[in-house]
Amino acid sequence: MKNFSTSTPPSDADAMKAIPPVVCYPVETLPRPDLDPYYEARMDLVLVDRVIVPPREAASFRVPADHFFRISVEGPQVGDLNLFNASNLSERFYSGKTRALNGTHVGLGDQLFSSFPFLRPMATITHDTLDWYGFDSFGGAVHDVIGTRCDPYTHNLLSHGDQYHHCCHSNLTRSLSAATGLPLAEAESHVHDVLNVFMCTGFMRDTGQYFMKASPVRQGDYLEMFAEIDLLGVLSACPGGDCSATHSSDQAVCYPMYVDIYRPAQPPKGWSTPPVNGYDRSHGLPAAK
């Protein structure tokens, strides 16, 4: 936290602070999806599966490419989402690059990108019943890609040794192990930073610390995405409930979450699965002969 200093400011300190910022990744050339074909496709959907995520637990689900899926709640509840290429766990959701290309919180029309060396859209957000929220006066917004996930290691550190097994990291690990048959330790190595679905977060303006506040989500709300590739998803119903007070607790009121998977009558017009990233992976060295 940059809330104290031991160094003497230079004479031009105010001038240096007054230099305007520059966006790191200008995205004018980033291919953005044309949402009209998605809108047309989502007008005729057939429910093909529903997965229930119990409170303080996680569940896995599979979504074929060209299908839609909706995450919803039974009450005020946030969730931590991991996404994988269903046939290759090494291609997984890359929250950091998704954040760099879209901003700290994602919404309608944003795409969730996969890890290197693939770096391609995995899913496109096609509907969000919380898009009315925007950014509040504290700088908070929903669906963040800045938080990592609550985990038992940080909990152990901050509690001086307590063992808590229903943090989202552990929930995701158990569920991924069950879905893939991988040993627990191997499954854990694939669990990654999440999309915090419905979570309302931001940064404190005085300290820069990550904050959370009561999620505005309620029964009837949902976040809808279109699977650009075959997906394996794992969703944890956070033990913090709506995260108004804590994100690891046996006392917080928690609710089930649902993942509904829909098949459209027709894929979006002109749609095809995005190819993997075109970088040649030579990293500046001559190609091997």
Rg of the chain on CA atoms, in Å? 20
Q: Parallel, antiparallel, or unpaired: how do β-strands 88-92 and 68-73 relate?
A: unpaired
| pLDDT of 287 above 80 | no
The pLDDT tens digits for 95-132 are 999 999 999 999 999 999 999 999 999 999 999 999 99
The pLDDT tens digits for 33-90 are 999 999 999 999 999 999 999 999 999 999 999 999 999 999 999 999 999 999 999 9
Backbone angles phi, psi at 185, to 5 degrees: -65, -35
Total Cβ atoms within 10 A of residue 201: 24
The residue written with tokens 């509840």 in the block is: 77
Residue 2 or 93, more confident: 93
List C-alpha distances in Å: 22 to 16, 19, 160.
14, 9, 41
Spatial contact of 271 and 66, defined as CB atoms under 8 Å apart: yes
Residues 12, 15, 17, 22: what is their CA dihedral angle, to the nearest 10 degrees?
Answer: -130
Question: SS3 for 166?
Answer: coil
Across 186-213, average pLDDT: 96
Spatial contact of 150 and 247, defined as CB atoms under 8 Å apart: yes
Question: SS3 for 10?
Answer: coil
Spatial contact of 53 and 61, defined as CB atoms under 8 Å apart: no
First-to-final CA distance of the chain: 50
Q: Round the average pLDDT of the chain to a whole number and report it.
A: 95
Among 181-185, 230-234, 282-286, the minimum mean pLDDT is found in 282-286
Task: Report the predicted TM-score, pTM, of the whole model to 2 decimal places.
Answer: 0.95
- Residue spans of beta strands (DSSP E) within the chain: 45-53, 58-63, 68-73, 79-85, 88-92, 111-113, 121-128, 141-144, 195-203, 210-213, 222-227, 231-237, 257-264
The pLDDT tens digits for 252-272 are 999 999 999 999 999 999 999
Across 205-234, average pLDDT: 96
Q: How confident is the model at residue 142 (pLDDT cuts 50, 70, 90)?
A: very high
| pLDDT of 289 above 60 | no
